[in-house]
């Protein structure tokens, strides 16, 4: 995608241009190869969000396979892959092939960035649906994304079980009937991860998924894990920027975990119970999703509804959140089965842990530094207990 573009106008930001489509567009933005620059693609992500699109941003250094897994699991309408490293003729066709191998050959691939004019014809011949050069405007990109939207059929063409699970979740979240015969079963355990914005929930969940996947390889009885990650939806355009996949190394995890991003307003978990049942029933045996992590949006003091949908709840806090009086107020701290002091390498960690232990009683308090993986194994033990 373009690396330098003009910022959107306020009119572009505020208008919902997707209201007449069959469903809210879902686009996966990703950068393949060794390109380490993401300013341009972030501008595009914000512009698409502000036009009513749900944007899943997967971050830098993606492989064709990792992008294809993300697009399938997120049930995207289109992949928009940005290329700046002169490897478009190799990686573009591999992305198309990976989508076919993973059961979603129907998802179109749009490519943009520094694409020589003489290579665009080759890319189109090799299966890339559209190409955008650096001179492409925001409105053209948004219009192309809107044009990719098709009605959601209850059954995916390939019949791939994970692709079908992704479609079932899309329909359930949209309040539409799903296919007859979909298996429903609650996973062995459902864990809620909540806490204030910026507490490090996404990074912590990514580390938990990595630790769980390592354990499941050593012990088949663990089965696999899945994640439902909620992010806020705009009250103005109903667009959303879904960035929880940024923290996950899907090049390493591959298909050992299922990850799905969903946008909601407030604490609207209207479809969560259905989604939980669909995930638990998708596979059996060693392939079953026995553990489901549900990551909430950044939560305030009185946001506690997640407790009604999960078996255990971890509340993530960070040093400097306030004085001890905050611990005594009714609300989110009451729903915790496990307290997590994340960013425990920051000043104020001792005071936070002391205050937490004052209110925790017999509930465990676990200290973590999610960015370094510290305390993650102990936290997983506490959540699986």
Lowest mean pLDDT among 2-6, 99-103, 200-204, 254-258: 2-6
Q: What is the C-alpha separation between 45 and 54, in angstroms, rounded? A: 9
pLDDT of 85 higher than 70 = no
Contact 12, 48 (CB under 8 A): no
Q: What is the C-alpha separation between 331 and 340, in angstroms, rounded? A: 16
The tens digit of pLDDT for each residue in 174-188 reads 999 999 999 999 999
Q: Which pTM does this prediction carry?
A: 0.93
**pLDDT score of 224:** 97
Query: In which band, very low, low, confident or very high, does the pLDDT at 61 lie, cut at 50, 70 and 90?
Result: confident
**pLDDT score of 40:** 84
What does the block give as tokens for 152? 């959601």
Give the single-character DSSP code of 285: G
Domains of the chain, by residue range, sit at 10-147, 189-384
143 sits in which H/E element = helix 138-147
What average pLDDT does the segment 325-338 reach? 76
pLDDT of 98 higher than 80 = yes
What average pLDDT does the segment 216-231 reach? 95
In degrees and rounded to multiples of 5, residue 145 shows phi and psi of: -65, -45
* DSSP string for 310-347: -SEEEEEE-TTS--THHHHSSSGGGG-SEEEE-STTST
pLDDT of 6 higher than 50 = no
**pLDDT score of 131:** 96
260 sits in which H/E element = strand 257-264
Residues 240, 260, 205, 311: is their CA dihedral positive or negative? positive
pLDDT of 157 higher than 80 = yes
Burial status of residue 126 (CB atoms within 10 A of its CB: 0-12, 13-18, 19 or more):
middle
According to DSSP, the residues that pair with 339 across neighbouring strands are 315, 365
Burial status of residue 26 (CB atoms within 10 A of its CB: 0-12, 13-18, 19 or more):
buried
Query: In which band, very low, low, confident or very high, does the pLDDT at 130 lie, cut at 50, 70 and 90?
Result: very high
Q: Name 84's Cβ contacts closer than 8 Å, sequence gap at least 6.
A: 3, 31, 33, 35, 37, 113, 114
Q: Name 35's Cβ contacts closer than 8 Å, sequence gap at least 6.
A: 60, 61, 82, 83, 84, 85
Q: What is the C-alpha separation between 291 and 233, in angstroms, rounded? A: 26
User: Chain-wide mean pLDDT for the chain?
Assistant: 91
CATH code linked to domain 10-147? 3.40.50.280
What does the block give as tokens for 215? 């354990």
Nearest residue to 51 via CA among 160, 138, 112, 166: 138
CATH code linked to domain 189-384? 3.40.50.300
Q: Do domains 10-147 and 189-384 have the same CATH topology?
A: yes
Contact 257, 214 (CB under 8 A): no
């Amino acid at each position: 995608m373009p690396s330098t573009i003009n910022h959107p106008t306020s009119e572009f930001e505020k208008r919902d241009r997707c209201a007449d489509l069959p469903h809210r567009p879902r686009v996966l933005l990703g950068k393949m190869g060794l390109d380490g620059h993401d300013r341009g693609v972030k501008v595009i992500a914000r512009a698409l969000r502000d036009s009513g699109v749900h944007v899943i941003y997967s971050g830098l250094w993606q492989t064709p396979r990792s992008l294809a897994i993300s697009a399938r699991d997120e049930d995207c309408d289109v992949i928009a892959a940005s290329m700046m490293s002169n490897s478009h003729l190799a990686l573009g066709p591999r992305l198309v092939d990976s989508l076919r191998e993973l059961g979603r050959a129907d998802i179109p691939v749009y490519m943009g960035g520094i694409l020589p004019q003489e290579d665009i014809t080759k890319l189109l011949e090799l299966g890339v649906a559209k190409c955008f050069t650096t001179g492409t405007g925001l409105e053209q990109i948004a219009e192309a994304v809107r044009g990719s939207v098709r009605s959601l059929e209850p059954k995916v063409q390939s019949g791939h079980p994970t692709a079908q699970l992704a479609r079932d979740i899309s329909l359930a979240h949209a309040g539409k009937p799903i296919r007859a015969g979909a298996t429903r079963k609650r996973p062995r355990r459902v864990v809620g991860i909540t806490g204030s914005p910026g507490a490090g929930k996404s990074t912590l969940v990514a580390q938990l998924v990595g630790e769980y996947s390592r354990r499941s390889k050593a012990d088949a009885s663990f089965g696999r894990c899945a994640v439902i990650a909620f992010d806020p939806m705009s009250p103005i355009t109903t667009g959303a920027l879904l960035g929880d996949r940024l923290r996950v190394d899907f090049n390493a995890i591959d298909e050992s975990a299922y990850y799905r991003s969903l946008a909601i307003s407030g604490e609207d978990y209207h479809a969560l119970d259905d989604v939980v049942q669909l995930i638990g029933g998708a596979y059996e045996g060693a392939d079953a999703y026995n553990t489901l992590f549900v990551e909430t949006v950044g939560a305030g003091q009185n946001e506690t509804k997640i407790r009604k949908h999960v078996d255990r709840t971890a509340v993530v806090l960070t040093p400097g959140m306030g004085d001890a009086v905050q611990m005594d107020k009714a609300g989110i701290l009451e729903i915790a089965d496990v307290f997590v002091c994340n960013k425990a390498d920051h000043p104020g960690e001792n005071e936070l842990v002391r205050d937490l232990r004052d209110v925790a009683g017999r509930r465990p308090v676990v200290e973590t530094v999610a960015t370094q993986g510290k305390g993650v194994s102990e936290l997983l033990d506490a959540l699986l207990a």
